[in-house]
């Protein structure tokens, strides 16, 4: 007998950078995507998603509003701490990369190579880049804070212009 899979609830959110999609499970917030970003899941997959609202989505939205208004400090930034995150949809390797992203402080940045070193896979820089690109919880699991080795702005699944805006909002770029 196949175990029942509970679909993640899905809700849209209007942000200053464009529409966002949030998803949640009983374990935590499980997704946050820009409406037109690469690697979007199939929201019409009824086995995986149902339209609705969840307390974790509301918790995320109450933090996203002051974040986008530039009113959130690093001390206030509690994504992944006070707000549970469900990062179980990735491989073990991807999950290790996503956990490393959570350690990048607001206003800070790192490189793909530094993350590869941090997770004890120094030769896996490209694989780290692929895992960063597949991060299911953008902004809150701050993949936008990952730069090239030389500090250059590299790709972002949500679009490079959004990455620039997020880094400006956090004071990384002026």
Measure the CA–CA gap between 30 and 11, rounded to whole angstroms.
Answer: 12
Measure the CA–CA gap between 87 and 49, rounded to whole angstroms.
Answer: 16
Residue 132 within a domain: yes
Residue 2's pLDDT is 41
Residue 7's pLDDT is 78
Residue 133 within a domain: yes
pLDDT confidence tier of residue 130, bands split at 50, 70 and 90: very high
**Tokens, residue 46:** 């009824």
Task: Report pLDDT digits (tens) over 93-115.
Answer: 999 999 999 999 988 999 999 99
Residue 100 within a domain: yes
Q: What is the mean pLDDT of residues 141-154?
A: 92
Which of the residue ranges 2-6, 36-40, 72-76, 150-154 would you say has the lowest mean pLDDT? Answer: 2-6
What is the percentage of the chain residues whose pLDDT exceeds 70? 92
Would you name the residues annotated as active-site residues?
143
Sign of the dihedral through C-alpha 93, 95, 100, 104? positive
Residues in Cβ contact with 46 at an 8 Å cutoff, skipping those fewer than 6 apart = 7
Residue 156 clears pLDDT 80, i.e. is over it: yes
Measure the CA–CA gap between 20 and 12, rounded to whole angstroms.
Answer: 6
Residue 173's pLDDT is 86
Residue among 34, 107, 116 nearest 74 (CA): 107
Q: What is the mean pLDDT of residues 23-42?
A: 91
Residue 79 clears pLDDT 90, i.e. is over it: no
Q: What is the mean pLDDT of residues 110-133?
A: 96
Pairing of strands 49-51, 110-111: unpaired
Q: What is the mean pLDDT of residues 60-70?
A: 90
Residue 38 clears pLDDT 70, i.e. is over it: yes
Q: What's 144's domain CATH number?
A: 1.10.10.10
Structural domain count of the chain: 1
**Cα 113 to Cα 89, 129, 146, distances in angstroms:** 24, 9, 10
Residue 163 within a domain: yes
Residue 162 within a domain: yes
Residue among 124, 170, 118, 125 nearest 144 (CA): 170
Residue 72's pLDDT is 81
DSSP 115: H
Q: What is the mean pLDDT of residues 53-68?
A: 90
Residue 110 within a domain: yes
Residue 155 within a domain: yes
Domain that holds residue 101: 92-169
């Amino acid at each position: 007998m196949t175990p029942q899979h509970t679909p993640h609830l899905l809700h849209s959110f209007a942000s200053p950078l464009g529409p966002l999609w949030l998803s949640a499970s009983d374990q935590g917030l499980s997704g946050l995507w820009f409406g037109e970003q690469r690697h979007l899941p199939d929201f019409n997959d009824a086995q995986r998603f149902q339209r609705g609202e969840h307390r974790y989505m509301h918790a995320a939205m109450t933090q996203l509003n002051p974040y986008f208004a530039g009113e959130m400090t690093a001390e206030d930034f509690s994504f992944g701490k006070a707000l549970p995150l469900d990062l179980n949809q990735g491989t073990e390797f991807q999950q290790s990369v996503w956990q490393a992203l959570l350690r990048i402080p607001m206003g800070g940045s790192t490189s793909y190579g530094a993350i590869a070193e941090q997770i004890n896979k120094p030769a896996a820089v490209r694989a780290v880049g692929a895992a960063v690109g597949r991060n299911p919880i953008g902004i809150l699991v701050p993949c936008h804070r990952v730069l090239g080795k030389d500090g250059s702005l590299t790709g972002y699944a949500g679009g490079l212009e959004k990455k620039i805006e997020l880094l400006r909002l956090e004071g990384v770029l002026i």
